[in-house]
Structure 1
Amino acid sequence: MCVAYCLRCVGVALVPLALLCILTNFLLLLPNLQLRFLLEGHVTSEATWATGLWGSGFLMLCQLLYSSLALLASGFCCLVSCTALAQGPLCLYNSSTGPEWGVPLQPIPGRFPGYLYNSNVSVLSVCVEPRGVVQWNLVLFGVQGGCSALQTLICSSNLLNVLLGALLGPGCLPSNKVVPVSV
């Protein structure tokens, strides 16, 4: 039963990835594990979209029923995570007019390639508050993006497997005979 075996393997692979995406999204909502940044609206907008919760989290746990939707959702979560990595976090930083909330590390065409392409270590200390938010977002959006990219690949193979199962039948072997066990 190739199809059944493959579905079992896919399920076993997707569950830990979904739980990891749920955990990382909760952590992204709570920089420094403090709720006040979320309540004050000082959390990166991509984190508040909660794609790790619904896209690569809960929908992955229902993958047998919603494999097509899960493929789109995990792909969207991967795209949002990569966008958030490229843009940089929302943080309090020192601008020319004083402390200001914004996204100071985002790429500016022709002037600043973005913090991901800058080897200067001082870029990581641009954000004053929440402390360490650049590394926080970098690691957690990186993990979430990687997990959701892997989920996208697994869901694609799952859809292909389901289609092949529907076309070729539930077993890969031509012989599906029940053989008595000799005692």
Structure 2
Amino acid sequence: MCTGKCSKCIGRLLFPLGLCAIIANILLYFPNGEVLDPDKITDFVWYFHGILGAGLIVYLPAFLMLGAGGEGCCANRCGMLLSMLLSAMGFFGAVYCMIMSSLGLEQGPLCDPGDGDYVYPSETRHWSKESYLFNQTTWDICKKPKNVVLWNVTLFSILLAIGALEAVLCLIQVLNGLCGCLCGTCKRQRWTDVA
């Protein structure tokens, strides 16, 4: 596959992934579909890792990837170089999303265990020392908002998966952009037979 076509293909894949990351991050602000006070929402939601990291930062290289491999030798090489540099930035945005999602999963949700105070059950020893992620019987410790553990685990896991996929795609584009910058983008040239 030509480096220009590969670049456009990766760019087209990054758009829906970025949109899904933005939507998943926004949904984290409404645990179980409820509107809560900002101080009752899990801390790691406020780092905007889905909106900025896996969303807007990844959109920058995606837009450029669609234009990479255009007409003209200089435009191809310069476009691929810029695409490579922005893809590296997109890679770091996706890794940021992965790190914040992992930390959000590790910390667990902010919830009311029944006494009216919003706490992190993992920090107050409501949960055992083993990870709550693999022991679903402990999830019902959180009384309010209802199903907040499932809500957070699902959305943080989606963000983690999207960040990982975007990181791989951006890394592929860094390598593709390097090849395109050094070797140029391949184009079919039509040869006409001269009689």
TM-score bin, normalised by smaller chain? 0.7 to 0.9
TM-score by length of 1: 0.84
Comparing both structures, which one devotes a greater share of its residues to helix?
2
CA RMSD after TM alignment: 2.2
Percent identity over paired residues? 30
Q: 1:152 matched to which residue of 2?
A: 167
- Consecutive unaligned residues of structure 1, counting only runs of 5 or more, are none
Question: Would the aligned equivalents of 1:44 and 1:89 in 2 still touch at CA under 8 Å?
Answer: yes
Q: Does 2:154 match 1:131?
A: no
Query: How far does the alpha carbon of each residue in 1:100-152 deviate from its partner, in whole angstroms, 9 at most, with x for none?
Result: 211103697xx60220233xx33111111111100000111111110110000
| Cα distance in 2 between the residues matched to 1:4 and 1:107 | 53
Q: Secondary structure at the match of 2:143?
A: strand
- Which residue type is aligned with residue 180 of structure 2? G
| Cα distance in 2 between the residues matched to 1:154 and 1:25 | 20
- Consecutive unaligned residues of structure 2, counting only runs of 5 or more, are 65-82
Give runs of aligned pairs for residues 156-171 of structure 1, distance below 5 A: 156-171=171-186
Comparing both structures, which one devotes a greater share of its residues to strand?
1
| Cα distance in 1 between the residues matched to 2:159 and 2:132 | 19
| Cα distance in 2 between the residues matched to 1:18 and 1:40 | 24
Which 4+ residue blocks in structure 1 deviate beyond 6 angstroms?
Answer: none
Q: 1:60 matched to which residue of 2?
A: 58
TM-score by length of 2: 0.79
Give runs of aligned pairs for residues 45-84 of structure 1, distance below 5 A: 45-63=43-61, 64=64, 66-84=86-104
Query: How far does the alpha carbon of each residue in 1:28-87 deviate from its partner, in whole angstroms, 9 at most, with x for none?
Result: 01113233x2x3411111111111001101122211363221110110101111111122
